[in-house]
Amino acid sequence: MYLLLFLFGIDSIFRIPYVQLLTKLDLTPINYKAKSDLLDQLIETQTSRGKGNKKLMIILGSSRLLYFDADDLRAFYPDWEIYNLSSAVTTPAYYDYNLYRLLEANIKPDLVLLETDPNQFNQNSIFKISNLTFSFDLPYVLKNLDLFGKEHLSFFLGRRLFAIGTYKPYLDQIWRNSQNENLAGFLDMRDKTYQHLLSKNGHGLSPIDHYTEKDSNVLELTSHRTLDWLFSSYQPSKMQFGFFTQLMERLKEAKVRTIIIWPSSSRNFEMLMEKQRIVEEWEKNVDTIATEYGSPVLKLKQDPNYSCSAFADGGHIAKECYHSLMRAVLLEYFRRYESSRL
């Protein structure tokens, strides 16, 4: 009994935010916390004040849809209130959870912009240490236990009950981080990131802002590096395909207008992807499901309304291309749902 109390006492130390920070200088937890708080804020605002005159758009994506400029969106699309719930390395399960929370609060978006990508369906991705660790709640996990499975439930409960499952008690690492000369700068960046995400409707604070990679050799190098990271141990995830199907069913039942996009990357990366048989199989499966539910995937690399020749690295467009991206999305929206206005 005393041993158990002692262990819980030690674990409680690692629930202190500053101690958690010292275990690993990483912005992942604060990004997920900001998106969770933003979702709560959005639900509270929409519930208490009502929808208002603007249309509501919800963006559900990964880092490839994260860096829209909130001020530009307000200026170019004043009729829309656009919230971005994207985060790094997300999955259909993460998207379904956010949509579930909104619909349970009787909030029906006028448009959901949904990203799809092969890595979101990778059984061997970092889903456990990202989405499962920092998002979801217990009722949702239990409600979808048939999809999550017992292994993911046990992992989820372990991370919720014991902080040291997420924040490792490596004292040498904690000491090194506490003495890091860049610690103050990291703390400032963490606070600015959190405040920016909440004040800018979830649109990200880019660490490189308007940077564009101009060296083709670097684009080639980062493309190979990204491909190796994504597909070195790729296995299709039945769980994520199950969540994707459930997500599509949820959108259809609620009659939520939806645009699903497959974002583009640098030509270097696209050429490497085209050689991957697993990508071809993924594309066929996702196309089948999306089309069945009336929302065919908009593939930006094939869309004549979209153009981008500036990239931050092999796998990510530069910030200047986000203008063309939103323009292509809204043109597709009007083509599908309000063609009389074109």
- pLDDT tens string 267-299: 888 888 888 889 999 999 999 999 999 999 999
Which residues are registered as beta bridge partners of 113?
59, 259
pLDDT the model gives residue 117: 94
pLDDT at 206 > cutoff 80 = no
pLDDT at 104 > cutoff 70 = yes
pLDDT at 125 > cutoff 70 = yes
103/202 Cα distance (integer angstroms): 19
pLDDT the model gives residue 232: 78
pLDDT the model gives residue 58: 98
**Do 131 and 93 form a contact (C-beta atoms < 8 A)?**
yes
**Do 284 and 136 form a contact (C-beta atoms < 8 A)?**
no
Name the pLDDT band for 265 (thresholds 50, 70, 90).
Answer: confident
* SS3 state of residue 82: strand
pLDDT at 208 > cutoff 80 = no
Count other Cβ atoms within 10 Å, centred on residue 260: 25
How many CA atoms does the CB half-sphere of 206 hold within 13 Å? 20
**CA-to-CA dists, residue 24 to 10, 33, 36, 312, angstroms:** 18, 16, 21, 25
Name the pLDDT band for 304 (thresholds 50, 70, 90).
Answer: very high
- Vertex 7: Cα angle to 133 and 18 (nearest 5): 55
Looking at per-residue confidence, does 218 or 40 come out higher? 40
The ranges assigned to domains in the chain are 2-207+240-263+282-301
φ/ψ region of 82 (left if φ > 0, alpha if ψ in -120 to 50, else beta) reads beta
131/94 Cα distance (integer angstroms): 6
pLDDT the model gives residue 25: 87
**CA-to-CA dists, residue 54 to 29, 77, 181, 225, angstroms:** 31, 10, 46, 42
For 60-93, what is each residue's pLDDT tens digit?
A: 999 999 999 999 999 999 999 999 999 988 999 9
Q: Could you tell me the pTM of the whole model?
A: 0.94
pLDDT the model gives residue 1: 65
pLDDT the model gives residue 17: 87
Segment 300-313 shows an average pLDDT of 90
pLDDT the model gives residue 11: 81
Round the average pLDDT of the chain to a whole number and report it.
Answer: 91
Which of these, 230, 262, 243, lies nearest to 115 by C-alpha position? 262
For the ranges 26-30, 215-219, 257-261, the maximum mean pLDDT occurs at: 257-261
pLDDT at 18 > cutoff 90 = no
Segment 162-175 shows an average pLDDT of 88
Name the pLDDT band for 2 (thresholds 50, 70, 90).
Answer: low
